[in-house]
Structure 1
Amino acid sequence: MKLTAATVDKMQPTDKRQEVPDSLCTGLYLVVQPTGKKGWQVRYRHGGTHRRMSLGAYPVLSLADARQRARDTLAAASEGRDPAEEVRAAKAPKPQDDRDKIRVLIGQYHKRHLSSLKSGHLVRRELDRFVVAEWGDRDIHDIARRDVIDLLDGIADSGRVVTANRVRAYLNKFLNWCVERDIIPMSPATGVKPAAKEASRDRVLTDDEIRWFWNACDAEGFPWGPLGKVLLLTGQRLNEAAQITDNEIRGDLWHLSADRTKNGRAHDVPLSVAVRDVLAGVDRIAGKPGYIFTTTGTTPVSGFYKARATLAEAMEKAASEDRGESVEIPRWTFHDLRRTAATGMARLGIPVRVTEAVLNHVSGTGGGIVGVYQRHDYADEKRAALEAWASRVTQLVEGSAVNVVQLSGAR
């Protein structure tokens, strides 16, 4: 049939689909659907196979334009191309460029900045834990100020206000780094305030709570039970204790090199008999790093938030069994164990300077000119202090504690 604009316009639908060839353009067909809709289709051969390709709807695409598109398609096919596949590929969504994804950029941030910082591994861990977990596959250009606020509010609403504020600080620095590298024009965290005001903590476990905590550690077992006991008995920082290795233990001394401590100062921790007993009771999982508190042999334990909650629950259970009624224990953190040890040593009459030496705490009596010129490491005093504190804890746990006896020379 010789198609004209008039015949195309007047073509009526039937109960079957109609394909009407155009005699003036071989391969071009007018398709009339039973619904009355009309469109253009071209047929060609590619690789020995018959192919069909839709050109467009009528009257949006006129007869003259349909003939031109058909001729272009047939010409492309004669060159060995497949026009239908080319159109499909052009319409297919392009694979997203990964270079601006949050997880990729945080990896670069670690490589070019965090890896050179002493606390870089801690910052990377928190960014992975909260930012990458939430936004990892998102493009950084899609992150808005509202997203930052929602992220921090979610952390704070779970009871981790301090963590929310730390993540805000880490995220701020990461986003400012992205601005400096011309990745984004402005940080979406600009002007975002801390999730909440942090209250200065002064939580110290009571004598009963120390006993319940110890019982909870016994009930929980490895790894959090032994680690909790080591934290209470030594007063050391959580990450430093969690990452302890057998290579750091030299007889009855735990040696922390400068790169393992928060303040960058090498530190020796005398191990009381109680601590040595705890460590001896831990079944080792073989691994090159030699971690004591590990479930994989390759990395130290993590997941401290959930671990604290588990111990707190076991602690309340122990308290309720002890009292014969439901007991609600005020919230505590792992850092409160460090404060409890320091307070306990003070109650035993340990001099402040010795306690600071035990904690590897550089401030107060150990700061300023004293810190520069006083190089006495208080090795014997630290050992006596930690043994006294371990004895006190043992007395509390065994229920044989009496009045606190001060050490001689207390001040």
Structure 2
Amino acid sequence: MPLTDTEARKTPPSDRPQKLFDGGGLYLLINPNGTRWWRLKYRVAGSEKLLSLGVYPEVSLKAARERREELRRQLKAGIDPGQQRRAEKLSQAGAVADTFEAIANEWLELQKKRLAPATHSKCRWMLDGYLIPAFGRLPMGDVTPPMILAALRLIESKGAHETAHRCRAFCGRIFRYAIATSRAERDPSADLRGALAPVVHTPRAAITDPERIGDLLRAIDGYEGHYPTLYALRLAPLVFTRPGELRCAEWAEIDLDGAEWVIPGRRMKMRQEHIVPLSTQAVEILRAAHKVSSNSRFVFPGVRNRAEPLSNNTINAALRRLGYPKDEMTGHGFRALASTRLNEMGWAPDVIERQLAHAEANRVRAVYNRAQYLPERRKMMQAWADYLDGLRRP
């Protein structure tokens, strides 16, 4: 039977401690001297633990029950309430340097110059959205594999299996850094290899049939909306860069007279400078874009803030407006579209791969390819633009 307030208040002390149980591990301990303490009994990894919830009647029966439910929710999330409380006390005392949150923030700050802005932003999002709420305040030595797994299972339950794997890998980097700086002895995330559901990769949706490519190009030409979005849509099939590389293009990177776009390494996935030869059609689109965005640093400024580039989802949203669902065509799909057709047109695979900025495992060959294939890439990009013009005509 649940404890009543009358029992909690009127049960007299005896010569031995008494326990009045309320359920769910909560009980009132009545000491021989008359003091009455709320206690919560719980188990972690098979071990029984106790936590004090305050003194009755300062902490009422109702308040103790609310606290019990809060702590039980933490347990379901893989958090040990006792360890969490210890971490909070350490934090209040100023001893926060060895918590997961502090070390993760330290590592992320050190990596800021090396990581691409988008990658850094994703790490920040994973840290703030999933890892810190789960065990961020705990000292590194108190974070256990079950705690990490509970946080990852929560992510998996939302269908974000790839994010769960990324978070596990991110935890590993933080722990390895902590080990290197003598603030942890081991990496508990290493024990979770194979514990997560595998990620099933599906190819990004792309249109590759020539007739349907023509339909897509005509639909893009008829797009009515934000002009920078229109120009980005029209340029995308001509340059087939990654969506983030396209939307964040800056005028300082583009030489219209030299018909060349040089994307700096800091904005590339592989962290290497990438040259995009511009066809006459691409230059024409960029000159038109310059008339509406020359007062912005970005070639394709945002809808609401011209000091920022187009948002992540703008191109995909525009394709949806044109009637192309996400399982049919995406912003990233322009790369598959170009790769498929260029290979079928007989262009050398190495030339195509280099223009796609795919990684070259052999560093020496990568340098050689960059110099050797640029003239061929220029020819290919112009021939590709002419080919698209042919498809555009009904």
TM range (shorter): 0.5 to 0.7
1:267 corresponds to which residue?
Answer: 274
Give the secondary structure class of the aligned counterpart of 1:388.
helix
1:108 corresponds to which residue?
Answer: 106
Q: Point out where structure 1 has 5 or more consecutive residues left out of the alignment.
A: 1-34, 38-56, 62-92, 320-327, 401-411
Say whether 1:133 aligns with 2:137. Answer: no
Q: CA deviation at 1:227?
A: 3.7
Say whether 1:233 aligns with 2:238. Answer: yes
Distance of aligned partners of 1:292 and 1:309 in 2 relative to their CA distance in 1, 3 Å threshold: closer
2:174 corresponds to which residue?
Answer: 174
Q: CA deviation at 1:343?
A: 1.4
Q: Distance in 2 between matches of 1:202 and 1:227?
A: 19
Is 2:100–2:137's contact at 8 Å kept on the other side of the alignment? Answer: yes
Q: CA deviation at 1:341?
A: 1.3
Q: 2:264 aligns with which of 244, 257, 268?
A: 257
Q: Distance in 1 between matches of 2:117 and 2:197?
A: 23
2:289 corresponds to which residue?
Answer: 281
Q: 2:353 aligns with which of 352, 356, 359?
A: 356
Within a 5 Å distance, the mapping from 1:208-227 to structure 2 comes to: 208=212, 211-212=215-216, 215=219, 218=223, 221=226, 226-227=231-232
Give the secondary structure class of the aligned counterpart of 1:255.
strand
What is the one-letter code of the residue matched to 1:244?
Answer: A
Q: Point out where structure 2 has 5 or more consecutive residues left out of the alignment.
A: 1-9, 13-30, 36-88
Is 2:354–2:369's contact at 8 Å kept on the other side of the alignment? Answer: no
Give the secondary structure class of the aligned counterpart of 1:166.
helix
What is the one-letter code of the residue matched to 1:215?
Answer: A
Give the secondary structure class of the aligned counterpart of 1:269.
strand
| Further displaced range: 172-181 or 125-134 | 172-181
Percent pairwise identity: 18
Q: Distance in 2 between matches of 1:372 and 1:390?
A: 26
Q: CA deviation at 1:126?
A: 1.2
Is 2:206–2:328's contact at 8 Å kept on the other side of the alignment? Answer: no
Say whether 1:383 aligns with 2:378. Answer: yes
Say whether 1:347 aligns with 2:356. Answer: no
Q: CA deviation at 1:262?
A: 3.5
Distance of aligned partners of 1:281 and 1:173 in 2 relative to their CA distance in 1, 3 Å threshold: same
Q: CA deviation at 1:226?
A: 4.1
Give the secondary structure class of the aligned counterpart of 2:293.
coil
Q: CA deviation at 1:163?
A: 4.4
Distance of aligned partners of 1:374 and 1:121 in 2 relative to their CA distance in 1, 3 Å threshold: closer
What TM-score results when the alignment is normalised by the length of structure 1? 0.57
What is the one-letter code of the residue matched to 1:284?
Answer: S
Q: Distance in 2 between matches of 1:152 and 1:226?
A: 40
Q: Distance in 1 between matches of 2:333 and 2:144?
A: 36
Say whether 1:310 aligns with 2:306. Answer: no
What is the one-letter code of the residue matched to 1:346?
Answer: N
Q: Distance in 2 between matches of 1:129 and 1:166?
A: 11
Distance of aligned partners of 1:167 and 1:135 in 2 relative to their CA distance in 1, 3 Å threshold: closer
Q: Distance in 1 between matches of 2:198 and 2:33?
A: 63
What is the RMSD of the two structures over their aligned residues, measured on CA atoms?
4.3
Q: CA deviation at 1:379?
A: 3.5
| Further displaced range: 133-142 or 377-386 | 133-142
Q: CA deviation at 1:263?
A: 3.6
Q: 1:199 aligns with which of 198, 201, 223?
A: 201
Distance of aligned partners of 1:293 and 1:188 in 2 relative to their CA distance in 1, 3 Å threshold: farther
Distance of aligned partners of 1:353 and 1:145 in 2 relative to their CA distance in 1, 3 Å threshold: same
Is 1:145–1:189's contact at 8 Å kept on the other side of the alignment? Answer: yes
Q: CA deviation at 1:362?
A: 4.8
What is the one-letter code of the residue matched to 1:105?
Answer: I
Larger Rg: 1
Give the secondary structure class of the aligned counterpart of 2:187.
coil
- How many residue pairs get aligned? The number is 300
Is 1:153–1:195's contact at 8 Å kept on the other side of the alignment? Answer: no
Q: What CA deviation, in whole Å up to 9, does each residue of 1:128-170 have, x standing for no partner?
A: 1222123446414475545544554555565654444334323
